[in-house]
Amino acid sequence: MTNFHDTWRLGDLTVNRLGLGAMRLTGMPWDERPKSREDAITVLRRAIELGVNHIDTASFYFTPRRSANELIATALQPYPEDLVLTTKVGAGRSRDGEFSFARPDQLRGQVEENIRQLGLDHLDVVNLRWGAAMGKEPGSVADHFGALAELREAGLIRHLGISNVVADQLTEALSIAPVVCVQNRYGLTDREDDALLDLCGELGVAFVPFFAVTTSIPGAAPGAVRGEAEVAKVAAAHDATSAQIRLAWTLHRGAHVLAIPGTGDPGHLAENVAAGGLRLSEEELALLDGVGRG
């Protein structure tokens, strides 16, 4: 069963606009106790049943007890024919959780690691994750993106994307190889990339926000606590949760905007998927836009 009908094409791959982010499957550092492996596998299998065919993951999504890629491979192999697995390279993590960023000559190893963990012979979509752990960084992406373009030509990658970038970096990447998606932090009260979102629409590139519904993690999405009353008002009108309204607002930003909310909870998964069927009125959108731009 599916509660959403809109699709978008990542190159030659068609995905439903509401997908699943895999980061929370393994649990987060602030969780009181480790996530249940059984719940994670249930979430993945239930997502497929609900019509999700786009899952965002990475080899650096892991805890000492869990790996998102391993959970995906265990739960979903043999993979459905229409399932698109998007991963990212450039960033990496040591076993103690410290982030590092790869040189261009190290990207092939990261790509091959994702291929092994997911049990594939190539990756559907690979994003170059640029910049610092949270913030963006200036500079040329040419050497790194060029290295991924070579791996695409070699058949290890089907399509390329780019993450945590500014407009000039997207333009530079497009001069090297086709870009099917941009994955940046963005949400109702985190609107720094409004112009980049619009540019992606003009170029026919998917814009894929992360942290689109984050409201409870200090510093994860600046300004996220604004607009609680307005969001709650719209939610009440639709018998929905505030998170569902934030997701619905995200999808209303453009036909090229995809959503990849993460969860390790089967109940939250069902709520997220249902948000794809919410249709907000012009008045509701105007109210929410006022919050976001405030």
pLDDT of residue 6: 87
List, for residues 171-188, the tens digit of each pLDDT value: 999 999 999 999 999 999
Q: Which amino acid is at 260?
A: I
pLDDT of residue 218: 45
List, for residues 28-41, the tens digit of each pLDDT value: 766 667 778 999 99
Return the ∠ at Cα 161 (arms to 4 and 71), rounded to 5°: 65
pLDDT of residue 133: 65
pLDDT of residue 192: 92
Return the ∠ at Cα 257 (arms to 255 and 263), rounded to 5°: 130
pLDDT higher than threshold 90 for residue 50:
yes
Return the ∠ at Cα 273 (arms to 269 and 276), rounded to 5°: 155
Helix, strand, or coil (residue 191):
coil
List, for residues 141-157, the tens digit of each pLDDT value: 999 999 999 999 999 99
Q: What is the mean pLDDT of the chain?
A: 91
**Is-contact 256 207, C-beta < 8 A?**
yes
pLDDT of residue 212: 87
Closest CA to 193 of 162, 151, 234: 162
Helix, strand, or coil (residue 148):
helix
Of 4, 8, 61, 207, catalytic? 61
Element (H, E) at 285: helix 282-292
**CA-to-CA dists, residue 22 to 59, 248, 265, angstroms:** 10, 20, 12
pLDDT of residue 87: 98
Joined together, the tokens standing for residue 173 give 């990447």
Average pLDDT over residues 42-61: 97
Stronger pLDDT, 100 or 56, i.e. the higher one: 56
Q: Which amino acid is at 109?
A: G
Tokens 């261009």 belong to residue: 104
Joined together, the tokens standing for residue 137 give 């960084």
pTM: predicted TM-score of the whole model, two decimal places: 0.93
Q: Is 79 a catalytic residue?
A: no
Helix, strand, or coil (residue 52):
coil
CA torsion sign for 221, 93, 95, 44 is positive
**Is-contact 27 34, C-beta < 8 A?**
yes
Joined together, the tokens standing for residue 83 give 């399932």
- Residue 172: CB atoms within 10 Å: 17
Closest CA to 63 of 39, 88, 31: 31
pLDDT higher than threshold 70 for residue 246:
yes
pLDDT of residue 1: 33
Residue 167 β-bridge partners: none
pLDDT of residue 255: 95
How far apart CA 274 and CA 292 sit, in angstroms, is 23
Residue 283 is given by DSSP the state H
pLDDT-derived band of residue 216, with 50, 70 and 90 as boundaries?
A: very low
pLDDT of residue 217: 45
Average pLDDT over residues 184-198: 94
Average pLDDT over residues 87-105: 86
How far apart CA 64 and CA 40 sit, in angstroms, is 15
Q: Say which range, 188-192, 205-209, 284-288, has the weakest mean pLDDT.
A: 188-192
Average pLDDT over residues 237-253: 96
pLDDT of residue 30: 60
Q: What is the total residue count of the chain?
A: 294
**CA-to-CA dists, residue 52 to 25, 43, 44, angstroms:** 15, 11, 9
pLDDT-derived band of residue 2, with 50, 70 and 90 as boundaries?
A: very low
pLDDT higher than threshold 90 for residue 46:
yes
pLDDT higher than threshold 50 for residue 16:
yes
